Chains A and B, each alone.
Chain A
Amino acid sequence: MARTLTFKIFRYNPFDENSVPKMQEYKLDETPRLNLYSALYRIKDELDPTLMFDFVCRAGICGSCGMTINGRPTLACRTLTKDLPDVIELHPLPFFKMLGDLSVDTGIWFREMAQSVESWIHTEKEFDPTAEEERMDNKIANDIYENERCIECGCCLAGCATAQVYTDFLGATGLNRIGRFMIDPRDKRTQEEWFELVSTDEGVFGCIGMMGCDDVCPKDLPLLEVFAYVRRKMMVSLTAK
């Protein structure tokens, strides 16, 4: 027998003075192979055109659809209803600014993060269009890619105790970004420059290492290793001082 699913969805429209936060219920018959992307579109198309949520790639690549599903921050497009109980509770990711129902403003936060960690290759070299590319070991390329896989979904921030207290905390995603540039031989930032950037409460020392982030990261980024790497690098420059 096909199940009837009960969705309890957090509703709030911050642009409407009369809106008050509440949970709203929707019933949906479970069709085969249903995931939360298809389910939420069905609710919007068939039951309630006012419901707000964000999907772009619906393939686990773009990081748009982070939300809290029965208490756990994860990607909705990659969540199948068959793995969930009859009652499915959906909340927007905490930490980010609310835009409406399940939709939050990750864009501004991640852009500020990119500015504050100066998320680009720092080099004096100019690009020379006539020259052969600089060589790179394929292993290093793969290592960089391993960190570069972060899709800025924000789940790690939603799962992080420090981030809830210090809004300036870079979070796992920010520290991971720093790690990504630290291992990149093209980036010429010095130990001192890294130290200044990272060794603050917003940076690596704000992290209390409970690894809530590592549990929830839908891309299974090796956050534990990244933190260890960044810390080690910082300790080296600390002892060198």
Chain B
Amino acid sequence: MGQVFTTDVLIIGAGLAGERVAVESAKNGLDVTLLSLVPPRRSHSSAAQGGMQASLGNSNKGAGDNPTVHWLDTVKGSDWGADQEVARIFADNAPIAMREMAHYGVPWNRVVGGPTDYFIKGKKVTLEEPKENEGLITARDFGGTAKWRTCYTADGTGHTVLYAMDNLVSQYGITVHDRMEAISLIHENNRCYGAIVRSLKEGSLNIYYAKSTVIATGGYGRIYGASTNAVINEGTGVSIALDTGEIPLGNMEAVQFHPTGIVPTDILVTEGCRGDGGLLLDVDEYRFMPDYEPEKQELASRDVVSRRMKEHMLKGKGVKSPYGDHLWLDLRHLGEKHLKTKLREVYDICMYFIGVNPITELVPVRPTQHYSMGGIRVNKDGHSYNMEGLFSAGEAACWDMHGFNRLGGNSLAETIVAGMVVGEAVSEFTKGTELKISSSLGEKFRKIQEDKITQFYNNEGKDTVIQIRNEMAEILSNYVGIFRTGDGLKKAVDDLKTLYKRAINVKVVTKTAGRNPELTEAIKLPGMVKLALTIAKGALDRTESRGAHTREDYPARDDENWLNRTLARWPEGADEPTLTYEPVGLLDLPPGDRGYGGGQMVKMDKSLDEYNKIVDKLQKESGKLDTLEKIGEKLPKELWKES
């Protein structure tokens, strides 16, 4: 059986976003329970090494930075898919969030005044770091930004920030239940009351009642099989929101890929490899990129390189391996000294995890799923659509500061900024509400899960979990990957629909006490296929190209018809999601050219004012709940013109 717990705030997910919400709620005197699949410090946030963007502007190349410049980069980066007010809330609060984490113990790297050597585009450059800023938080460069604004701690930013945050969780005495998997929400009449949670230790099904529930379960890249995400990033948190039939997911078709994940294991090796002169070779050890991109070659943008690699492999030019096809990254000509100093991290990853010595050997790589812009659609307070008392933050959410493309360094920063902002809204909501519910509601939802489990044992299906997972990954990477076409997507949607039927019919063969790993995987399988199908359907219907969503058959960004956000709901008993659309949010920066990535554009006929007039109304019709303050309050008009 299991136990019944009651708490003020139930937070599903103890990565950076979840823990930051927890800390804010605890500061507000609320009783908080944090759930996690793994001990919180092992959450995926710990693996982000690069850094977090905030416009502190302390370093030489950060001079002149401010939240408005950061906001501009973010909105442009999103290809105008972002909610501009949310991006503004983010950019304004990011510097505060970094300083706050400094106060709580993060050993941010600091400015050292005087001449300092850097490598910029492979060349050594000496810059004068400002003496007057000595000891303030410094920043490094990351793609797509006007200034250097990525705060970091050596090669372990996510690790140190998560450790500092988890220290706060200890300090506030917040209840943590690890090795726990939420597998259903408890809800009635569009109000959420907590979750049904399966113990990954002894396999029990527990009821957690809460005044408010927060989903902060991170990305779900593992549905693609090959992903840079941690192996636990399987999307259960997001799919249980979809399961309610009420809550929409936003922009699920917006998925980011990284060109160089190593094979096997899909660990990411940095762009720096190509920046410094690394070459991509095919099965014949032929350098193919110049054929596709004569100008930029290996240095074209992430999206473009990933797309060309995939295209070349589909032509049969990939290298066959027991782990699937891949290409080669050639770093040998860079020499031992360069690889052991400047590209030390890459050298270590290759040596430690696949035993390949990049000084003498080719490194096997392939484009790999990297980041999910989509997720549980929430308003600017982090409150979900249609479901009172359910909030979401972090990569699991579509708060929507990233639109169709997130900038490197913005997602880790989002976790702690959203954690702070959403945490305040959660606290305010929780203090103003009571838990009024009959005790049979939790039992009812627990029973549904018990029956599902019995069903898995009794099923007659011939497939194993792993078969379905492999087929799903195959479909997604072939047709819903980096470059997409109507025909391919149509096939993906059809195939995934069939796969969904097979997924709910999987038979769990082994019946062991405890967590039973086979059952654990079977339970999440249908949810994973649902997410896959939601991505595919969103991509099929969006007949334009925007940010990471690239349609070969619709290469233009179409602001007249598609300056909107996809909302996907899954009605009970349906075999595919229903899609609707809402405006992206109030526009302040008019849609324009990103200044990179190329591409054509269809301009919007409406004026900004006309567009803005309909936003609030249409979003409310889509199910957006009231926000603590009116929309637009945090979006000062045309401030950007001054920057």
A91 to chain B, nearest CB (A): 18
A57 to chain B, nearest CB (A): 5
**Contact (Cβ within 8 A) A33 B364:** yes
**Contact (Cβ within 8 A) A15 B267:** no
| Separation of A169 and B104 alpha carbons in the complex (Å) | 27
B168 nearest in chain A by CB position: A120
Interface size class of A (residues with CB under 8 A): 35 or more
Question: Does B604 sit within 8 A of A, measured CB to CB?
Answer: no
Stretch at the interface among B95-103, B139-147, B547-555: B95-103
Residues of A within 8 A of B134 (CB): 135
0 or 1 for each of A81-93: is its CB under 8 Å from B? (1 = yes) = 0110000000000
0 or 1 for each of A125-156: is its CB under 8 Å from B? (1 = yes) = 10101011111111011101100110110000
**Contact (Cβ within 8 A) A120 B170:** yes
- Choose one: B160, B170, B517; the contact of A148 (CB below 8 Å): B160
**Contact (Cβ within 8 A) A15 B514:** yes
Question: Does A199 sit within 8 A of B, measured CB to CB?
Answer: no
**Contact (Cβ within 8 A) B178 A107:** yes
B268 nearest in chain A by CB position: A59
Stretch at the interface among A42-50, A158-166, A200-208: A42-50
0 or 1 for each of B111-132: is its CB under 8 Å from A? (1 = yes) = 1100000000000000000000
Question: Does A231 sit within 8 A of B, measured CB to CB?
Answer: no
| Separation of A13 and B43 alpha carbons in the complex (Å) | 25
The prevalent SS among residues of A at the interface is loop
B376 to chain A, nearest CB (A): 22
A-B contact pairs, 5 of them (CB 8 A): A31-B323, A50-B517, A52-B515, A59-B353, A186-B105
**Contact (Cβ within 8 A) B109 A119:** no
- Choose one: B112, B203, B349; the contact of A59 (CB below 8 Å): B349
- Choose one: B96, B99, B109, B170; the contact of A138 (CB below 8 Å): B109
| Separation of A46 and B254 alpha carbons in the complex (Å) | 33
Question: Does A226 sit within 8 A of B, measured CB to CB?
Answer: no
**Contact (Cβ within 8 A) A114 B170:** yes
Question: Does B608 sit within 8 A of A, measured CB to CB?
Answer: no
| Separation of A82 and B357 alpha carbons in the complex (Å) | 13
**Contact (Cβ within 8 A) B103 A107:** no
Q: Find residues 190-239 in chain B having any chain A CB closer than 8 Å to their own CB.
A: 201-203, 230-232
A145 nearest in chain B by CB position: B107
| Separation of A50 and B156 alpha carbons in the complex (Å) | 34
Stretch at the interface among B3-11, B60-68, B505-513, B528-536: B505-513
- Choose one: A35, A38, A110, A135; the contact of B135 (CB below 8 Å): A135
- Most central of A83, A114, A187 by chain B CB within 10 Å: A114
0 or 1 for each of B446-490: is its CB under 8 Å from A? (1 = yes) = 000000000000000000111000000000000000000000000
- Most central of A114, A145, A184 by chain B CB within 10 Å: A145
**Contact (Cβ within 8 A) A57 B47:** yes
Question: Does A16 sit within 8 A of B, measured CB to CB?
Answer: yes
Q: A33-B264, A59-B349 are in contact. List 16 more A-B contacts (CB 8 A).
A: A19-B513, A35-B355, A44-B517, A49-B518, A50-B516, A55-B231, A61-B46, A77-B265, A80-B353, A114-B167, A132-B99, A135-B110, A135-B136, A138-B112, A138-B135, A145-B160
A99 nearest in chain B by CB position: B201
**Contact (Cβ within 8 A) A13 B513:** yes
- Choose one: B156, B171, B321, B516; the contact of A145 (CB below 8 Å): B156
Residues of A within 8 A of B98 (CB): 133
**Contact (Cβ within 8 A) A49 B109:** no
Residues of B within 8 A of A120 (CB): 104-105, 167-168, 170-171
| Separation of A198 and B203 alpha carbons in the complex (Å) | 38
Evaluate whether A38 and B513 lie within 8 angstroms (CB atoms) in the complex, with A80-B355, A134-B102 already known: no
**Contact (Cβ within 8 A) B355 A100:** no
Q: Which residues of A contact B (CB under 8 A)?
A: 13-17, 19, 31-35, 37-38, 44-45, 49-52, 54-64, 77-78, 80, 82-83, 99-100, 105-108, 110-111, 114-115, 118-121, 125, 127, 129, 131-138, 140-142, 144-145, 148-149, 151-152, 184, 186-187
Residues of A within 8 A of B631 (CB): none
Q: Find residues 220-263 in chain B having any chain A CB closer than 8 Å to their own CB.
A: 230-232, 263
B538 to chain A, nearest CB (A): 28
**Contact (Cβ within 8 A) A110 B267:** no
**Contact (Cβ within 8 A) B107 A141:** yes
B330 to chain A, nearest CB (A): 17
Residues of A within 8 A of B47 (CB): 57, 59, 61-62
- Choose one: A15, A16, A119, A131; the contact of B170 (CB below 8 Å): A119
| Separation of A194 and B357 alpha carbons in the complex (Å) | 46
Evaluate whether A107 and B514 lie within 8 angstroms (CB atoms) in the complex, with A62-B47, A119-B167, A121-B105 already known: no
Evaluate whether A107 and B353 lie within 8 angstroms (CB atoms) in the complex, with A45-B466, A51-B517, A145-B160 already known: no
Evaluate whether A59 and B39 lie within 8 angstroms (CB atoms) in the complex, with A134-B102, A138-B109, A142-B107 already known: no
Evaluate whether A132 and B136 lie within 8 angstroms (CB atoms) in the complex, with A62-B47, A64-B38, A141-B107 already known: yes
A97 nearest in chain B by CB position: B201
